[in-house]
Amino acid sequence: MNALAEIEQGIEGLLAQPPYGVEPEEHHRALLTLLKKELDYAGERNPRFRNYVEHWPVDFRAAENIADLPYLPVRVFKANPPLALVGAEDVKRTLTSSATTGQVPSRVVLDAATARRMTKGVITIIRDFVGPSRRPYLVVDTPENLKGQAELGARGAAIQALGSFATEVVPCLLPGENGDASLDLEKLLAFAGKWKDSDVLVYGFTYVIWTQLVQTLQRRGITLSMPNVRVLHSGGWKRLEQQAVTRDVFARGVASVFGCSPDRILDYYGMVENVGIVYPDCAHGNKHVPCFGEVIVRDPLTLAPVAAGQRGLIQVCSALPTSFPGFLLLTEDIAEVISYDQCPCGRRGTNFRFAGRAPKAEVRGCGNLERTRYHQVEGSVR
Amino acid sequence: MSDMIQAVDSPQTITHAAKRIREIALQKEITPEVVLGVFDQWAAALGDRELHDVPGMSFLRLWLRRGNLEPILLRELGPNSLHGGWREDGRARLRAFPLGVIGHWPAGNVEIQPVLSLTCALLGGNGCLVRVPSGLVEITRRIMDKLQQADREGTLTERVFMAGFDHARMDLQEAMARAVDGAMIWGSAEAVSQVRALPFPHWARVAVFGPRLSAAAMDAATWSDRTQRSSWCQRIARDVWQFDQQACSSPQTLFLERGIGCDPAEFAEDLKKAFQEENRQHPRAEIEPALTTAICMARASWLLDDVGNRALFPATPDWTVLLGTGAEMPDPTQGRTLVVLVVDDLMDVISRFDGTLQTLGLGISDPRKEEMLAQAAGRCGVDRIVKLGRMHVFGSPWDGTELIRPMVRLVRHVLSQD
């Protein structure tokens, strides 16, 4: 069996298990073995990546902990062309992150096998939280983001990943002229009337749900009366925090317009680079890691994993990609580890709470000068 | 002993303080000689063990000594300046007089800078308004307590007002700018631009020490000399560690001249040992998470960009050596991340410098070559050329500018009876 086939077999083995049912030691052992094979494979496929792992202070082949394996900062995927383990001819889709204005988005390439695993991973996770049944699916977004394109943004990827739970998909926003969207109220009310008491799935980016759906309906005094809705949302809190919308305010606001209980609103953390894994909140407000991934929270001062109850930088791990080296990624987000295996919800393994983006570095003194400026004055002496 | 730093909340407090210290500066003239006397005692008081942990304290003590400042005063203000006398200048005579009240806006990343900036203006006989950055209040207070001990009669302290307030309080920033006759502004581009835009009086003289970059260079004979190499590496480590590589005088890149039969990787190993030792002696107590991720990104992008690039780093973010080739200075990462670039000819590197390069730290064995490199560096905008290990030693001129002279007026007197 060649290396890739062996890796694929290992991934399928993990995907076949209950995502949160594996005993932590067994999970660690299986994932460590697989990740080492993947690192070896990735080094063979990409000499630049090999150069990186060979300079890692610990030889990954001898590592006894996932935390000792070489991880990449997630920002490396902002490079163009994207860091890949497959040739351009094998790229089926490129996922891009939702960079804010002026920022460079991350780009990760998926071949057919990785794309398939991505969908399978997300379905496995979401099924554990909302159940396996198919149901009407209301998308708080424009029809454009439902299209399957070769280059897919984070919103489109999240919307499509939940498509497997849908009997019908209804987008409820209308595209505007300047890229702004507005609520298609007629369509929304028709959907709500049709599926009033049914089990319905809703998904949208957090700030889109708030600004386009909740605020619009609140202004008009409309309640949809859909008590059995499950609202999933993701995409970060930065913009809402600027408007002083807390998680609690958000959940109560969404619940009030749908006429459901706030516990039917499910926030999840995720990023396109951590392919195939999302982290929804459990009933106890904690995020969990499936058996085909891991989360390591690192102390910024030492980069060592923190103890339960402590905060640090989030490193995400996923065994699923084989088209790009996104196995072990250090993010710029902060989390608190709640416990390493004791969540009352019954899910096994690491559980954590997202605590926001790492604040940008303060202005770093009189040496804070970038080469861009160095070049702006080229040819002149001050 | 009163608290030298006041938390200020109203513009009137600043305006009144400025009025008071201006009157003192006008009424009670002090000569540089008197200031030097107090500074000498202050330097001695700063030798207390309790202040050993203040970064840059040894430099501050050295700076304050008479033996250091006297030559600077004589060079900047001329003969007889120590006693405040007039000096002959052809058929006229010259004498330095204070500008009045000098406002100081020090950078937030150099612990001793509020005090260094202050000393320059005091030597000119001025009164001083100092905005102390919030992160430096405690350290500055400890240093100023020692001045109060040394200056029992209050000769200097009565003409100093140190204010602590949030940098975003534009009403206080503006009140301070309106109240001064001169200003010394230090820091990053953003900080400097904000302060320069304040409403200074039209007569105010403003000295700006803005953001700069620094680099180091060694010729092949120096870095390949195994007997001296560890000593040079210790010097480089010292320059990198001081101010956590955030100062304008911190080396971000070290250029090594290519040599025959000597391996840069071997040099990098010695550098690694020096960095490990420096880190053992001066470990970080804290770090911003954003800097940690920036360091990880610098390591990754260096090794991913070019398979020929090498790197040495521990599992922690404590230090990083990035080894490659090329004459262009890459964007600085700071956080004890030194890029070591091998080049064929150091002149090629220096010819690419411009005015953003402040300090060039050198390790050159051949004096003639050093002379050539210094000439070229000066021509290309570099303001300080020093031996490696001394890149942060504060002195005049700094950034190509004198430190005391800009804060005095040289008054010319042509005798009416002549």
Residues of chain A with C-beta less than 8 angstroms from the C-beta of B355: 377, 380-382
Quote the tokens at residue A285: 């407000």
Q: Which residue in B12, B248, B205 sits closest to B107, CA to CA?
A: B248
Asked if B248's CB is within 8 angstroms of A370's CB, the reply is no
Asked if A367's CB is within 8 angstroms of B190's CB, the reply is no
Mean pLDDT taken over chain B: 94
Q: Nearest CA to CA, how far is B366 from chain A (Å)?
A: 28
| Cβ A342 vs Cβ A257: under 8 Å | no
- The pLDDT of B335-343, averaged and rounded, is 97
Residues of chain B with C-beta less than 8 angstroms from the C-beta of A368: 188-189, 211, 246, 334
pLDDT at position B395: 82
Interface of B with A in 175-234 (CB under 8 A): 186-191, 209-214
Interface probe for B, chosen from A49, A74, A364 (most Cβ of B below 10 Å), is A364
Amino acid at the residue B352: R
Q: Which of B348-357, B358-367, B372-381, B391-400 has the lowest mean pLDDT?
A: B391-400
pLDDT at position A379: 28
The CATH number covering residue A65 comes to 2.30.38.10
Residue A260 and residue A166 share a domain = yes
Contacts of B373 (CB under 8 A, 6+ apart): B217, B346, B347, B350, B360, B362, B364, B385
Q: Answer yes or no: is B71 within a domain.
A: yes
In total, chain B counts a number of residues equal to: 418
Q: Nearest CA to CA, how far is A14 from chain B (Å)?
A: 29
The CATH number covering residue A188 comes to 3.40.50
Q: Answer yes or no: is B394 within a domain.
A: no
Residues of chain B with C-beta less than 8 angstroms from the C-beta of A80: none
- The pLDDT of B92-115, averaged and rounded, is 93
Percent of chain B exceeding pLDDT 70 equals 99
Q: What is the ipTM metric for this complex?
A: 0.91
Asked if B355's CB is within 8 angstroms of A377's CB, the reply is yes
Residue A185 and residue A126 share a domain = yes
| Residue B361 touches chain A, beta carbons under 8 Å | no
Beta strands A311-318 and A293-298, pairing class: antiparallel
| Residue B330 touches chain A, beta carbons under 8 Å | yes
Q: Answer yes or no: is A28 within a domain.
A: yes
Residue B378 and residue B347 share a domain = yes
Q: Answer yes or no: is B124 within a domain.
A: yes
Q: What's chain A's Rg over C-alpha atoms?
A: 22
- Smallest CA–CA distance from A73 into chain B, residue: B297
Asked if B108's CB is within 8 angstroms of A367's CB, the reply is no
d(Cα B179, Cα B200) in Å, to the nearest integer? 8
Q: Answer yes or no: is A48 within a domain.
A: yes
Residue B232 and residue B196 share a domain = no
SS3 B147: helix
The CATH number covering residue B145 comes to 3.40.605.10
Which of B213, B307, B316 minimises the CB distance to A374? B213
Q: Answer yes or no: is B320 within a domain.
A: yes
pLDDT at position B417: 81
Percent of chain B exceeding pLDDT 90 equals 81
pLDDT at position A99: 65
Residue A141 and residue A35 share a domain = no
| Residue B245 touches chain A, beta carbons under 8 Å | yes
DSSP code for B230:
H
Residue B243 and residue B113 share a domain = no
pLDDT at position A369: 54
- The pLDDT of B217-246, averaged and rounded, is 94
| Residue B56 touches chain A, beta carbons under 8 Å | no
Residue that is written with structure tokens 């262009």 in the block = B328
Residues of chain B with C-beta less than 8 angstroms from the C-beta of A362: 108, 288
d(Cα B46, Cα B85) in Å, to the nearest integer? 30
- Smallest CA–CA distance from B352 into chain A, residue: A378
Residue B122 and residue B18 share a domain = yes
User: Angle CA(B341)–CA(B346)–CA(B350) in degrees, nearest 5?
Assistant: 100
d(Cα A72, Cα A67) in Å, to the nearest integer? 12
Residues of chain A with C-beta less than 8 angstroms from the C-beta of B212: 366-367, 369
The CATH number covering residue B336 comes to 3.40.309.10
Quote the tokens at residue A159: 């919307």
Asked if A300's CB is within 8 angstroms of B289's CB, the reply is yes
Q: DSSP of B64-95, one letter per residue? A: HSHHHHHHHHHHHH-TTGGGT--EEETTEEEE
Residue A264 and residue A156 share a domain = yes
CA dihedral B244, B247, B252, B258 (to 10 degrees): -110
Indicate the burial class of B197 (C-beta count within 10 angstroms; 0-12, 13-18, 19 or more): exposed
d(Cα B22, Cα B311) in Å, to the nearest integer? 56
Q: What is the per-residue pLDDT across B11-38, written as a single tens digit (0 to 9) for each?
A: 999 999 999 999 999 899 999 999 999 9
Q: Which residue in B237, B260, B229, B246 sits closest to B294, CA to CA?
A: B246
SS3 A137: strand
Residue A322 and residue A179 share a domain = no
Size of interface A-B (CB pairs under 8 A): 174
Contacts of A18 (CB under 8 A, 6+ apart): A128, A291
Residue B171 and residue B160 share a domain = yes
| Residue B392 touches chain A, beta carbons under 8 Å | no
Q: Nearest CA to CA, how far is A28 from chain B (Å)?
A: 20
Per the DSSP assignment, residues forming a β-bridge with B87 are: B94
pLDDT at position B33: 95
pLDDT at position B297: 96
d(Cα B16, Cα B8) in Å, to the nearest integer? 12
d(Cα A368, Cα B246) in Å, to the nearest integer? 7
Quote the tokens at residue B11: 């513009």
d(Cα A358, Cα B288) in Å, to the nearest integer? 8
Q: Domain of B56?
A: 5-210+399-413
DSSP code for A341:
S
Residue that is written with structure tokens 């937030």 in the block = B108
Cis (ω within 30 of 0) for the bond into B71?
no
Distances in whole angstroms, Cα of residue B391 to Cα of each of B53, B92, B215, B368: 20, 40, 9, 21
Residue A229 and residue A132 share a domain = yes
Amino acid at the residue B113: Q
| Residue A301 touches chain B, beta carbons under 8 Å | yes
Q: Answer yes or no: is B418 within a domain.
A: no
Count of domains observed in chain A: 2
Q: Nearest CA to CA, how far is B388 from chain A (Å)?
A: 18
Residue that is written with structure tokens 């501050």 in the block = B60
Interface probe for A, chosen from B194, B243, B296 (most Cβ of A below 10 Å), is B296
pTM given for the model: 0.88
Residue A206 and residue A291 share a domain = no
SS3 A196: coil
Quote the tokens at residue B161: 């007002």
Q: Answer yes or no: is B344 within a domain.
A: yes
| Residue A83 touches chain B, beta carbons under 8 Å | yes
| Residue A367 touches chain B, beta carbons under 8 Å | yes
Q: Which residue in B106, B112, B55 sits closest to B285, CA to CA?
A: B55
Residue A318 and residue A225 share a domain = no
pLDDT at position B54: 86
For A354, list phi and psi in degrees, rounded to 5.
Answer: -70, 135
Q: Answer yes or no: is B179 within a domain.
A: yes
Residue B354 and residue B405 share a domain = no
Asked if B188's CB is within 8 angstroms of A368's CB, the reply is yes
Q: Answer yes or no: is B156 within a domain.
A: yes
| Residue A179 touches chain B, beta carbons under 8 Å | no
Which of B109, B214, B312 minimises the CB distance to A365? B109
| Cβ A272 vs Cβ A316: under 8 Å | no
Count of domains observed in chain B: 2
| Cβ B194 vs Cβ B162: under 8 Å | no
In total, chain A counts a number of residues equal to: 382
Residues of chain A with C-beta less than 8 angstroms from the C-beta of B305: 48
Q: What is the per-residue pLDDT across A152-208, written as a single tens digit (0 to 9) for each?
A: 777 888 888 888 899 999 999 998 877 778 999 999 999 999 998 899 999 999 999
d(Cα A50, Cα A77) in Å, to the nearest integer? 16
Distances in whole angstroms, Cα of residue A252 to Cα of each of A122, A263, A268, B220: 26, 9, 17, 69
Distinct helix (H) and strand (E) counts, chain A: 11, 17
Residue A243 and residue A199 share a domain = yes
pLDDT at position A377: 30
| Cβ B96 vs Cβ B77: under 8 Å | yes
pLDDT at position A97: 85
pLDDT at position A373: 37
**What residue ranges in A21-88 does DSSP mark as E strands?**
72-73
Quote the tokens at residue B44: 């001695």
For A317, list phi and psi in degrees, rounded to 5.
Answer: -130, 140
Beta strands B310-312 and A311-318, pairing class: unpaired
Per the DSSP assignment, residues forming a β-bridge with A356 are: A334
Confidence band for B247, pLDDT divided at 50, 70 and 90: confident
Residue A307 and residue A221 share a domain = no
Residues of chain A with C-beta less than 8 angstroms from the C-beta of B353: none
B326 — alpha (psi -120 to 50), left (phi > 0) or beta? left
Report helix angle A24-45 to A3-15, nearest 10.
150
Q: Domain of A259?
A: 117-269
Which of A55, A302, A380 minimises the CB distance to B311? A55
Residue B239 and residue B178 share a domain = no
Quote the tokens at residue B286: 């804290």
Residue A157 and residue A185 share a domain = yes
> Which residues does chain A have with pLDDT short of 50?
362-363, 370-382
Q: Which residue in B74, B64, B84 sits closest to B147, CA to CA?
A: B64
| Cβ A374 vs Cβ B211: under 8 Å | no
| Residue B279 touches chain A, beta carbons under 8 Å | no
